[in-house]
Amino acid sequence: MADLPLRPGSTLGIVGGGQLGRMLSQAAARLGFDVLILDPEDDCPAARVSAGQFVAPYDDPEALTALGRACGVVTFEFENVPAASMERLAEAGARVAPGPTALRVSQDRVEEKTFLNAVGAPTVDFHAVATLDDLRAGLERLGTPALLKTRRDGYDGKGQVWVRDPAEVADAFAAIEGRPAILEAAAPFIRELSVIAARDWDGRMAVYPVGENSHEGGVLRVTTAPAIADEKTLVRARAIAEAILDGLDYVGVMGVELFDLGDGVLLVNEIAPRVHNTGHWTQDGCVCDQFEQHVRAIAGWPLGPTEAHARVEMANLLGDEIERWSDLNGKADVRLHLYGKAEARPGRKMGHVNKVLGPI
Ligand code: AMP
């Protein structure tokens, strides 16, 4: 295994080839690294800006072995990569960051909340649900409304159903097709915030200013950052993020989604062991964006500065909103970030636009 810090010219591996991999690869290239992507989709968005691609399933043993051998460090760009794949890479002697534990914990909402509470990061009350009787018991304990979510494979609000009345239990259980689930108490939040934080191999941390997020139908629409918030809230957000990254002995960038209940009270909704959509504003609001920060962290370079030099509003371009590119591309205060996806399916993340609101 090559020594850290990895020298420019070294090769980094990314499991997953979507837009996050693409922007990671672009940041890595700027620092002189070559990137190899592992993704089953030929010519995926990340591969088109990278040095090469293994076109194979995420758990393909031969592709994983080849990737591990070729790379000074291997990372992943979305949390549904099988944790076993990253474990296999690590066992075969590859350097993997973040470690497989972070992936495993974030893949199961019950494990995730149990871990979060254990490190002092509060969440809503929850109840593990395997059967209809569990769901009834959970509802009795947590009251209505409550949110039933599949334990695994949920993202962007998929695999979730609100239970507003005990009479709805059977329908709710059917809606998630009887899969292992978690029932969550409703968080009485006044707004949603997130923290993007990084940790290096020696445990040093760098935390970006908090972002304020708005979702529609479970999908992120807009992040505005730095969020206007009182000192108590900002200090608390930072402390929560640091406890989580330390608790996982984490290396790399992580997104921590928070519910702001007011008066400095924050609950963690979920964590994403990767660069995060709510951190895209850093591309135009900070000297070192979250993508470069992740590359720096995993390659053993010093972490970059996280202060904002501008206030930014990041808006996702979903589905055919991508067609706004020709109106947006002439505006002086916006920067377009497009993902090179051929097909604009409804709701698909096609790009984002960072509007610079003004200097800090
Ligand atoms: P998730 O997929 O867990 O990130 O949930 C998607 C969105 O649903 C969140 O950003 C919130 O707007 C909402 N949500 C999720 N969990 C809860 C909860 N326990 N209480 C209230 N709203 C929630």
What's the CA-to-centroid distance between 314 and ligand 1, angstroms?
A: 20
Atom of ligand 1 at shortest range from CA of 154: 2
CATH code of the domain covering residue 54: 3.40.50.20
* Domain range for 135: 125-185
Contact 297, 97 (CB under 8 A): yes
Claim to verify: residue 175 and residue 200 sit in the same structural domain? no
Q: How many CB atoms lie within 10 A of CB 166?
A: 12
- Tell me what the mean pLDDT of segment 316-332 comes to: 96
Calpha distance 94→113 (Å, rounded): 29
270 lines ligand 1 (CB under 6 A): yes
What's the CA-to-centroid distance between 248 and ligand 1, angstroms?
A: 23
Respond yes or no on whether the N-terminal peptide bond of residue 180 is cis (omega within 30° of 0). Answer: no
Is 154's pLDDT higher than 80?
no
pLDDT score for 274? 98
pLDDT score for 156? 61
- Split into its structural domains, the chain has a count of 3
- Tell me what the mean pLDDT of segment 121-149 comes to: 97
Q: Using CA of residue 255, residue 258, residue 263, residue 265, what is the dihedral sign?
A: negative
184 lines ligand 1 (CB under 6 A): yes
Calpha distance 47→43 (Å, rounded): 6
Residues counted in the chain = 360
- Tell me what the mean pLDDT of segment 189-205 comes to: 98
Question: 131 in a domain, yes or no?
Answer: yes
Tokens standing for residue 271 = 């964590």
pLDDT score for 157? 65
Claim to verify: residue 212 and residue 270 sit in the same structural domain? yes
214-267 per-position pLDDT tens digit: 999 889 999 999 999 999 999 999 999 999 999 999 999 999 999 999 999 999
CATH code of the domain covering residue 179: 3.30.1490.20
Claim to verify: residue 174 and residue 200 sit in the same structural domain? no
- Tell me what the mean pLDDT of segment 277-306 comes to: 98
112 lines ligand 1 (CB under 6 A): no
267 Cβ contact partners less than 8 Å away, ≥ 6 residues apart: 122, 123, 124, 187, 189, 258, 259, 261
98 lines ligand 1 (CB under 6 A): no
Claim to verify: residue 156 and residue 204 sit in the same structural domain? no
Claim to verify: residue 209 and residue 281 sit in the same structural domain? yes
Claim to verify: residue 33 and residue 165 sit in the same structural domain? no
Atom of ligand 1 at shortest range from CA of 187: 20
Place of tokens 């649900």: 129
Claim to verify: residue 239 and residue 327 sit in the same structural domain? yes
What are the phi and psi torsion angles at 269 (to 5°)?
A: -80, -60
Going by alpha carbons, the residue nearest to atom 19 of ligand 1 is 186
Nearest residue to 289 (alpha-carbon basis) of 278, 299, 300:
278
Going by pLDDT thresholds of 50, 70 and 90, the confidence category of residue 336 is: very high
What's the CA-to-centroid distance between 124 and ligand 1, angstroms?
A: 10
Calpha distance 147→183 (Å, rounded): 6
219 lines ligand 1 (CB under 6 A): no
86 lines ligand 1 (CB under 6 A): no
What's the CA-to-centroid distance between 192 and ligand 1, angstroms?
A: 9
232 lines ligand 1 (CB under 6 A): no
Q: How many CB atoms lie within 10 A of CB 63?
A: 20
Going by pLDDT thresholds of 50, 70 and 90, the confidence category of residue 1 is: confident
145 lines ligand 1 (CB under 6 A): no
Among 269, 276, 316, say which to mutate for ligand 1: greatest number of ligand atoms within 8 Å of CB.
269
22-76 per-position pLDDT tens digit: 999 999 999 999 999 999 999 999 999 999 999 999 999 999 999 999 999 999 9
79 lines ligand 1 (CB under 6 A): no
142 lines ligand 1 (CB under 6 A): no
pLDDT score for 292? 99
E strands present in the chain: 11-15, 34-39, 52-55, 73-76, 126-129, 146-150, 160-163, 181-185, 191-199, 205-207, 211-216, 219-225, 252-262, 265-272, 310-318, 334-338, 349-359
CATH code of the domain covering residue 353: 3.30.470.20
Q: How many CB atoms lie within 10 A of CB 247?
A: 17
Tokens standing for residue 301 = 């370079």
Contact 317, 21 (CB under 8 A): no
Q: Whole-structure pTM over 0.95, yes or no?
A: yes
